[in-house]
Every structure is written in structure tokens, then in C-alpha cells.
A and B are shown apart, each in its own frame.
Chain A
Amino acid sequence: MDFNDIWKARAVPGPDVQALYSKIKNYRTRRLRRLVLTNICLVLTSVFIASIGFWIQPERLTTWAGILVAILAMVTFLLVYNRMIPLYRALDDHSDSHRFMDTLLTVKKKEAFLNRQMMNLYFFLLSLGLALYMYEYVIRMELKWAVLTYTVMFAWIGFNWWVIRPRQIRKEQEKISSIITRLEEVQGQFKG
């Protein structure tokens, strides 16, 4: 059986360099767009939170601290998110495939770790920021309203921490770990 002949008998669409050039253009724009959008969204949110402080002119340090901590949550998210990009840039896709798979696996494991840590820190900082921010306004209320406000707030924070956060982390982790498992399988083929 001459497999070489059969292999080459396959009909191949002709090369289309113009289609390729337009794809190159789109590809660059798409890659940049996501990065820029995420950064712009979080920077705008931070500016919005900061402007609340500016317009309301809080009297207590706790309110300022709350605003700062919330901004810090955004900044942390951006720092970690932007740190993942060089990880992928470092992937040398013209190294041999064995080495490439090893690096890709390391990158994925690092991404899984960063994701989990980032989610924990992000939720923690946002909750802390909110609790601190509310303090100034709550102490001006009657005791029963103050208790009610903080109860609702802590219930909300608890719901986020024990329900939303683990769900988000699990969703991300499931996605990444199934990729890691598949990469490990293929990595095993290089050793076999």
C-alpha cells in the first residue's frame, strides 16, 4: 500500500495570500481588543470609585480606606491579568514540540494558580472595601437600621464568598484542569 501517493492525492485549496493578509490584520486587532477592553473597564471602575470619594468628601478614614481597598482589588486583578500575557508570549512556538508542550503545561499550571489566588484576593479586597466604606454611613443610623444594614451586607458578602467565589473558581479550574489533563496525556506520548 503506497500511503505517500494516497496522502498527496488529497485535494488542497490553493494558497490565497490576500485572504491571509486580511486575517493577519484581524488577528492583531482582536488580540489587542480584549486586552485593552479589560484594562479600560477596570480602570474606569476605579476612576468611578475614586470620584465617589472626591464628590462625597467622606469625613472618616475608614471610608477612604474602603475606597482605596476597592481600587486595590481592581489594580490587583489588572496586574495579575496582565502578568498572564508575558507567560504566553514566552511560549516559543518554534522550539521543538516536546519542549513546547512542557512549557505550555507549565504556563497552564501557573495560570491555574494565578487564577485561584487572584479570585480569592479580588473577592476578599472587594468585601473588605465595601465593609469599610459603609461604616461612616451606618454609624449615623439608628442602631436597629445599622444592625440591619450590616446584616444584609455581611449576608451579601457571605453569599459572594461561599457561593459565587467557589463557583467562579471551580468553573475556571475545571476548564484549565481538563486542558492540563489533555496536555499531560500528550506529554506522555513524547516519553512513550
Chain B
Amino acid sequence: MTKDFEHVYSVYWEKVYRLCMGYVNDDASARDLAQETFIRVWENLPGFRGDAQIGTWIFRIASNHCLRQLEKDKKHRKTELPLQLPEEVPPDRAVEVELLYRLIAELPETDRIIISLELEEVKQGEIAQILGLSEGNVRVRIHRIKERLTQRFKDYGF
């Protein structure tokens, strides 16, 4: 069990962490969320029946755990962006990364999870299974979210 768990943990840690980061856009909270997700994985792994892929199963736990933050947060964690990014900051990769995660964390909760999973290259059919949506709905929403993100990136001069 310990060996299986540690394998799963090492394979999925980064993916789950980024998913949580996309949801909250805060390093400390993302680490807590990801760790708590793996606590649930640890507790439930012996009962995992294999009727879904292990990845789908872990992402479901992570997604549900992120959504449970609604029970705790007083307000949605929405970091407002300044209207203009400071000019002295070169538009390099670090700024792009920060901007992307901020923009994702501003989306409605389910959209944050959908786009994070899409960017983790999870298949759209699998995203649909994780969230309990139709594949068509997921496809349409991914398209809209990407359009919106592209527009926002343009607004910031990228």
C-alpha cells in the first residue's frame, strides 16, 4: 500500500498542485489543498476498485476538495489585477505564468477546474467524467475559456 501510494503521489503531485494553484492562485493554499487531496487518496486507495482510471479518480478527489473551499472562504479568492502591468517588468515567461494563473483563478469555480485539467492535457472525455458534465459541454466551455484568456492576454499586451 505504502509503495503504491508513494508511486501515485510522485506521479500526480505536480499535476494536482497545479490544479489547486489554478483554483486558488496562492502557493500556501495550493500546497495545503494538494496535500489534503493526497490525504484523501491515502485513505481511499485501498478501496480503489479501478472502475475509473487512477488519474480520473485522483482528479475527482482534487476537484471536489477544491470546491469544498466554498465552505471555508468568506469570499471568492479573486486577485484583482492592476490595469497595467508595471512597464519595467519584461514580458517574459515568469510574467506570463503569473498572469495565466491569476486569470484562471478569476474564472467561475467550475471553469477554473475545467481549464486547469485541459492544460494538464487530460482528455476532454475524462474531464467530463471528473466533473459530471457532458463532453459537448466541456468542449464548448474550454473553447470559450481559451478565447477569454487569449483576449485578456492581448489586453495586457501579450
Contacts and interface: CB of A to CB of B under 8 A. Distances in A.
A104 B9 contact: no
B61 interface: yes
Contact of A100 (B17, B64, B76, B108): B64
Given A20-B9, A93-B64, A9 B97 contact: yes
Interface in A22-40: 23-24, 27
A12 B21 CA distance: 10
Contact of A104 (B42, B68, B119, B153): B68
Nearest to A11: B97
Given A10-B21, A15-B10, A27-B39, A190 B133 contact: yes
A173 B35 CA distance: 30
B40 A93 contact: yes
Interface stretch (A113-121, A156-164, A179-187): A179-187
Contacts of B42: 20, 24
| Interface SS of A by simple majority | helix
The interface size bin for chain B is 35 or more
| Interface SS of B by simple majority | helix
Interface residues of A, number: 36
Nearest to A101: B67
Contacts of B60: 93-97, 100
A189 B150 contact: no
A98 B67 CA distance: 10
From B6, B64, B158, name the one whose CB has the most chain A CB atoms within 10 angstroms. Answer: B64
B40 A98 contact: no
B100 A3 contact: yes
Contacts of A94: 44, 57, 60-61, 64
A3 B113 CA distance: 15
Contact of A20 (B38, B71, B96, B109): B38
A107 to B, nearest CB: 10
Contact of A190 (B18, B61, B132, B149): B132
A97 B63 contact: yes
Contacts of A186: 67, 70, 108-110
A90 interface: no
Contacts of A19: 35
Contacts of A179: 70-71
A165 interface: no
Nearest to A176: B71
A86 interface: no
Contacts of B113: 97
Given A15-B14, A97-B64, 20 more contacts: A1-B153, A1-B158, A6-B96, A7-B100, A8-B119, A12-B17, A12-B21, A15-B9, A15-B13, A17-B6, A17-B10, A94-B64, A96-B129, A97-B60, A97-B110, A97-B132, A98-B131, A99-B132, A186-B110, A189-B110
List the 4 closest pairs (A to B, CB-CB), nearest first.
A98-B132, A96-B132, A7-B119, A15-B13
